[in-house]
Amino acid sequence: MWTESTMPIGQSLIVSLLGISIVFLTLMVLSLAIILISRALGAFIKDSAPKPAVAAAPAPVVSDEADKEVLAVLMATIGEDLGTTPDRFRILNVTELK
């Protein structure tokens, strides 16, 4: 079998498929081991401390100067995208999307 310098195509396909299948079987066994270990540790280790309530975050304080700068950047970007000058349109409202 290994006395020749090359392998026939059928034998090379078998060796390739065998190698790929061994890698995937090893990955499946590893993933199952991780799942089982995490479940076993989750059964033994429980969070006894109550979780604190999430407090509402205060609204960030933004200076008027920062608002003007953001508005200028938005106007320049929109003007560039529309191919017009910022005096040709008005931004009426700016709302942050979350």
Tell me which residue of 61, 62, 94 sits closest to 75, measured CA to CA.
94
In a domain, 1, yes or no: no
pLDDT tens per residue across span 11-20: 999 999 999 9
Q: What is the mean pLDDT of residues 22-36?
A: 97
In a domain, 52, yes or no: no
Higher-pLDDT residue of 47, 72? 72
71, 94 in Cβ contact below 8 A?
Answer: yes
Between CA 73 and CA 79 the distance in angstroms is 10
Between CA 90 and CA 74 the distance in angstroms is 11
In a domain, 54, yes or no: no
Domain range for 23: 8-46
- Across the chain, the runs of DSSP E, i.e. the strands, are none
- pTM for this model (two decimals): 0.42
pLDDT given for residue 98 in this prediction: 76
Based on the domain organization, do 68 and 92 belong to the same domain? yes
